[in-house]
Amino acid sequence: MTRNQLWFASMVCLPYVMYGVMLVIAYLIVTAMMQRGHQVWQKCIGTGFGWLTIGLLLSASFGINRGESFLQLTNFLPFFVLWGVWVTSPAMITSPFAVLERLARWLVLSAVPLCAIALIEYALKFEGLIPRIKASWLPMWLIEWLYEEPYFGHRARSLFDHPNVLSAYLVLVLGLGLGLVLKETVNRVSTTSNRVAANPSAVARYRLALGLSVLLCLGAIFCTGSRNGLLIALVLVMIALYMARRYKQVWISSVIGVGVLAGAINAFGIGGRSLSGDIFINDPRVRIWHLAIDMIYQRPWTGWGFSGLRELYTPGSIPNNDSIYHAHNIWLFLASESGVPVMIGFSVICGAIFYRALRTYFARKTGLPEGDRAILFSYLLAFFACLSFSLFDVVLFDARLNIAAWGLLAALYAMSAQGGNTSHRRNTP
């Protein structure tokens, strides 16, 4: 198996065998650094991650719990290097669109078991079924996994540790899936696989599998009971609908899908909670945000170090919250725990890459084929979902989400760089 195949297999298997995949990724990073380490360092430093590293180290030095602060830098510093390894990969430099289309397809289709587990888990958590399930022939480990600690109510978490983390992963997959559906709608025959294009039955099977995968993903997001995930999913569908507004069949199927989702929310609520204004108005996140803002006022430059909010929080000061681990907003989290300058640095670097990709997508003069633009749109949707989820939660503590988010950022960088090169070649006499 080649290194490129190992990368593909790692990303596809990541939700299922996280620790094994992380060992493989660590091996791939080491081998890449041995081959092109100087190029990786240059790319990371030139993009601004060198300055961010200095800022994070300074912040950890001033943290109220320095040991924990330095330990949590592992959620950031290795991923800067991972991003650099990806964007300097020869395949990502020479043919990013073909590579990333294949990866997107695999990620969407391979999420089907994850979604199926979530749907089954949700069905088994209806109150009327719980006594019968507990008295059934199911093995004890499965019953404990379904109903014992940690128990999140009528919410599915599948193979993740928390329903919100599962939802965060699935909205990324949904963004990729919607972009691929749009590509198949615009281009009746795939432009990147002549073998498949020559076989109409294979194309039909792929389109059917893709459509079912997207619908399953929507259903699984509902089963997580994540308000954030549901809202983002609806926004993604609306964006995709607008982009495919010329295609009647897409409108009809999407409206039906959204209608079914809305009906399910009305019938079953969100995560077992009835649909009312209280689940939004009385959200403890608002009080957590106030705590984070107070922390920023007190230490705007260096922050309190990672784990600062957890150290400063008085248990029980927010009802039903004996402890708080983060600010439930990535910008407040970074500003309160690592300082405003670091937060601004992150925003500028990631925002610049996202903006460059958006500009590449909307600038017709780049000469990108429609198929490539659709792939870029897929990753833009997925990264938009990542940013949107970060408004109400921080999920970078799950390595699977962290790897996926940095992978999206690397993909946008690579595709916008390729688009810029295409534009340069077209404008060169």
Q: Where are the domains of the chain?
A: 3-284+320-427
Q: Are 379 and 183 in contact (CB under 8 A)?
A: no
What's the distance, Cα to Cα, between the start and end of the chain in Å? 42
Calculate the average pLDDT of the chain. Answer: 86
pLDDT at 56 over 90: yes
Least confident range from 103-107, 253-257, 425-429: namely 425-429
Tokens at residue 161, please? Answer: 């540790």
DSSP state of 189: S
**In this predicted structure, what is the pLDDT of residue 188?**
57
Q: How far apart are CA 377 and CA 371, in angstroms?
A: 10
Of residues 146 and 103, which shows the higher confidence score? 103
Model pLDDT, residue 425: 41
- Contact call for residues 414 and 85 (beta carbons, < 8 A): no
The strand pairing partners of 270, in sequence order, are: 273
Residue 192, pLDDT score: 43
**6-27 mean pLDDT:** 93
Q: Provide the CA 129 distance to its chain's centre, in angstroms.
A: 33
* Phi-psi region at 187: left, alpha or beta (left = phi > 0; alpha = psi -120 to 50): beta
Asked if residue 427 has pLDDT above 70, the reply is no
338 neighbors 56 (Cβ within 8 angstroms): yes
Residue 426: the pLDDT is: 41
Q: Is the peptide bond before 429 cis (omega within 30 degrees of 0)?
A: no
Query: What's the CA gap between 103 and 8, in Å, rounded?
Result: 7
Give 264-300 pLDDT, tens digit per residue. 666 666 655 555 555 556 678 888 999 999 999 999 9
Q: Which amino acid is at 161?
A: D
**Cα–Cα distance measured from residue 182 to residue 374, given in angstroms and rounded to the nearest whole number:** 7
Q: How confident is the model at residue 203 (pLDDT cuts 50, 70, 90)?
A: confident
Phi-psi domain of 342 (left: phi exceeds 0; alpha: psi -120 through 50; beta: other): alpha
Say how far residue 201 (Cα) sits from the centre of its chain: 32
Return the DSSP state at 314. Answer: P
Q: Which residue has the higher pLDDT, 257 or 137?
A: 137
Helix, strand and coil percent figures for the chain, each rounded to 5: 75, 0, 25
Contact partners, residue 35, CB within 8 Å, separation at least 6: none
What proportion of the chain, given as a percentage, has pLDDT over 70? 85
At 111, which amino acid appears?
A: A
Q: Residue holding tokens 């959204």?
A: 258
- CA dist 404 and 111 (Å) reads 13
Among 152-161, 183-192, 208-217, 293-302, which stretch is predicted with the lowest mean pLDDT? 183-192
CB neighbour list of residue 216: distance below 8 Å, 6 or more residues apart:
111, 112, 115, 116, 119
Q: Which residue has the higher pLDDT, 421 or 403?
A: 403
For range 344-356, the mean pLDDT: 96
Taking residues 217-229, report their average pLDDT.
92
In sequence order, what are the residues at sequence separation of 6 or more whose Cβ sits closer than 8 angstroms to the Cβ of residue 412? 353, 354, 356, 357, 376, 379, 380, 383
* CA–CA separation, 85 and 57 (whole Å): 22
* pLDDT of the residue at 3: 82
Sorted by sequence, the CB contacts under 8 Å of residue 387 that are 6+ apart come out as 354
| CA dist., res. 105 & res. 405, Å (int) | 17
Among 368, 370, 361, 365, CA closest to 246:
370
How many CB atoms are located within 10 Å of the residue 315 CB?
Answer: 9
Question: Taking the model in full, what pTM does it have?
Answer: 0.90
